[in-house]
Structure 1
Amino acid sequence: MSEQLMGLISIPVVYLTLGSMLAVLVAEDVLYRRIRNFWVVVFFILWCGLSGLVWMKGAGDGTYVLWTILGSMGVLLVGLVLFQFGFMGGGDVKLMAVLSLWVGHTQLITFLIVTSLAGGVLVLLVPVLRPAEYMIANLWWALVQRLPETYRPDLPHCLSAHPSMGLPYGLAIATGASFTLFCTVVL
């Protein structure tokens, strides 16, 4: 989609917004091992709005959007199978599907490859990730303790009695999307 949006909207604003949203989403995934539906819905609504803008301006054709939606549905279907067998979390599957809309069908393979490579690096970094996660969670928890109790978020997973042993795959997905959206425009 990014090549069709050029000249129609302020690309730096879109990229800054997407980058900021991905950063917050990754922080939540690292701290809580949870990707909220809120983020998936916001990414979807923004994509629909920008796609509608492209269509109204006459800059895009329906086939591009159709192929992009079909590619995203394919990602969702494969992801649902992986979820069913316990290989991926539900939030990860939904996030990959909605970010597939953003990268478009022309960059979908790049997104999937970079996401897979980032996931592999994440697995290799588990010995470093766990202590870093614990340090970040302690820092975060110390900061939120200053909030009134009604505004405090839940205890980060690694500080709980039963920490999750899964990986924050949202980090790998965000890396794949960021590379595909931001770096391929420059390259």
Structure 2
Amino acid sequence: MLYLHYGLLIALAIGLCVAAFTDIKSRRIANWLNGAIALGAPLYWWASGMSLWPDVAWQLGFALIVTAILLGIGYIGYTLGITILGGGDIKLLAALALWITPLNYMTLLIIMAMVGGLLAIYFVIRRVVFKPKTPGQLPYGVAIAAGALWVITIDNYDTLFLGAMSG
């Protein structure tokens, strides 16, 4: 069961890297990728030994709340005519809420904000100094992926790295 647990985390990490790469290239995160990430969560719950009640129920409730908040943010941006988060970003964050506990999700958001801020500074400098013909939207999937990769690595650090060194 442990191998399945870590195999699913590796699959999630690969999916996050694909999301970041495609967001850089096309400013889009594919629906099939977000769907695959969301559909992988129940397998992860099972492999992690989460009980249906209360563990899975809390995770589903948390994911529903996160999704509602993200949809609200997207709707506000849409009505104001600005892009706060793209649709793919919203779906990716909602799918990740199925995988990541509420406390770790807060860490994801903090890391995401820091990486997003660095990305914004980079894009401003790049536009001012080099004036390239690049899309005006930030590939925020990069920041989301960085935050999620940080969280899944730190959350599993002891068994991933320390266990490997002691064995």
Give the TM-score normalised by structure 1.
0.69
CA distance, structure 2, for counterparts of residue 129 and residue 172 of structure 1: 18
Determine whether 1:88 maps to 2:82: no
| 1:30–1:168 Cα contact (<8 Å) kept | yes
Q: Could you tell me how far apart the structure 2 residues matched to 1:119 and 1:67 are?
A: 28
Instruction: Assess, with a 3 A threshold, how the Cα gap between structure 1 residues 78 and 52 changes in structure 2: closer, same or farther.
Output: same
CA–CA distance in structure 2, aligned partners of residues 36 and 116 of structure 1: 22
Query: Is the CA contact (8 Å cut-off) linking 2:111 and 2:146 kept in structure 1?
Result: yes
Deviates more, 1:34-43 or 1:71-80: 71-80
User: Aligned letter for 1:67?
Assistant: W
Q: Encode CA deviations 1:122-166: one digit per residue, 9 max, x unaligned.
A: 1122146669xx7xxxxxxxxxxxxxxxxxxxxxxx6xxxx5311
* Mapped contact 2:44–2:99 kept (Cα < 8 A): no
**SS of 1:49's equivalent?**
helix
Of 71-80 and 45-54, more deviation after overlay is shown by 45-54
Q: Which of 27, 37, 51 is the matching residue for 1:33?
A: 27
Match of 1:108 in 2: 105
The 3-state SS of whatever aligns with 2:35 is: helix
Structure 2 match to 1:8: 2
Aligned residues: 149
RMSD: 2.4
Give the match for residue 136 of structure 2: 165
Q: Determine the structure 1 residue equivalent to 2:163.
A: none
Note the 1:115-154 alignment, pairs <5 A. Answer: 115-127=112-124
1:11 positional shift: 4.3
Superposition map of 1:169-180 within 5 A: 169-180=140-151
What runs of 5+ residues in structure 1 fail to find an aligned partner?
A: 1-6, 135-157
Contact 2:23 2:139 in 1 (8 A): yes
SS in 2 for 1:103: coil
Structure 2 length normalisation: TM-score? 0.77
| Matching residue of 2:157 | 186
Partner AA of 2:85 in structure 1: M
Identical amino acids, percent of aligned pairs: 26
Runs of at least 5 residues in structure 2 that lack an aligned partner in the other structure:
78-82, 159-167
Number of the residue aligned with 2:13: 19
Indicate the larger mover: 15-24 or 169-178. 15-24
